[in-house]
A = this chain, B = another copy of it.
Amino acid sequence: MKKIVIIGSGNVAEALALSLAEQGMAPVQIYARNVESGSALAARCGAEYAGEPAQLAPADLYLIAVSDRAIASVSGSLDFGDAIVAHTSGSTPVDALSSKIRHRAVLYPLQSFTKGRSVDFREIPLMIEGCSAKALECVREVAGALSDRVLEVDSHRRAAVHLAAVFVSNFVNYMYTIGEELLADTGMDFSLLKPLILETARKAVESSSPRRVQTGPAVRNDFQTKNLHCEMLVDKPDLKNIYINLSNQIWETSKKISRK
């Protein structure tokens, strides 16, 4: 069985470590600068904790789950021997890993992780890449133990996926915060929007394409409602600007579709 060390103790490190442990592939070590979160995560998955370069355990695979901008320096500052080293970032090329490492790889889980929330790894697309046959084979094996959806995707396409994820997750969540703000302004609670939020997500996911289920005043080009909404946002120029911009885009996009 492969010996795995996880480097980092953030959201992605936690999700990977716990999910590996569930599959009987618990990491042997959590290596993290943050003593508190690192040793807590190590305890939860039955691994040892280390925080100093000299303490790094020997392993077959090192999974680097640190912030994107730390990947180069972390990978350059540790001695991995001839082991496989994979980062877990969507937008970072595999070559951001130090060129000193012979077997560079990527294992990117396409999901948004939050501490304390467990997610079903089996359904999460895991995008893998390897700079050597040995590296690719190793991440393919580990990814396959975690998920039923393992895809080999190069750095260029993985970056496109990550960009798409920013729109459908980060920007979507921001739309939720705007909804919350607009309700709060009139003394109502965000919880009212919850059935609508869940149904909107389910509908898009169950349809053949979200374009087909686009509804609302923008796609109907309903001037009356759009004007009313703009009047309501007169004291919130930033939100009014977003409203107009997105409404125009929805209308332009729908025209392109219907012309096809």
| Cross-interface CB contact of A186 among B117, B160, B174, B176, cutoff 8 Å | B160
Q: Are A112 and B159 in contact (CB under 8 A)?
A: no
Name the interface size band of chain A: 35 or more
- Bound Cα distance A160, B193 (Å): 12
CB pair B186–A168 under 8 Å, yes or no, is no
Alpha-carbon distance A194/B114, docked complex (angstroms)? 17
- With A182-B160, A204-B176 given, is the CB distance from A215 to B169 under 8 Å? yes
Task: Please measure, in the bound complex, the distance between the C-alpha atom of A203 and the C-alpha atom of B68, giving whole angstroms.
Answer: 23
Complex: chain B residue closest to A157, CB-CB: B186
Tell which of A39-47, A76-84, A99-107, A206-214 binds the partner. A206-214
Set B192, B200, B217: member contacting A125, Cβ < 8 A? B192
A228 contacts B91, C-beta separation under 8 Å: yes
Within 8 A of B (CB), among A162-190: 163-180, 182-183, 185-188, 190
Say which residue of B174, B198, B214 sits within 8 Å of A174 (CB atoms). Answer: B214
Question: Which among B68, B187, B196 is the interface contact of A169 at CB below 8 angstroms?
Answer: B196
| A224 sits at the interface (CB 8 A) | yes
> Is A260 an interface position by the 8 A CB rule?
no
**A242 in contact (CB, < 8 A):** yes
A163-B232 contact given A68-B225, A204-B173, CB 8 Å threshold: yes
The answer to whether residues A174 and B250 also contact, given A69-B224, A160-B232, A224-B68 and a CB cut-off of 8 A, is yes
A-B contact pairs, 14 of them (CB 8 A): A68-B222, A110-B196, A161-B186, A163-B232, A166-B218, A167-B176, A168-B178, A168-B179, A168-B196, A169-B200, A169-B216, A170-B217, A174-B250, A245-B245
Binding site for B on A (CB under 8 A): 68-69, 91, 110-112, 114, 117, 119, 123-125, 149, 151, 153, 156-157, 159-161, 163-180, 182-183, 185-188, 190, 192-205, 209-211, 213-219, 222, 224-225, 228-229, 232-233, 238, 241-243, 245-246, 249-250, 252-253
5 pairs of A and B residues whose beta carbons are closest in the complex: A170-B216, A201-B201, A176-B210, A168-B179, A164-B179
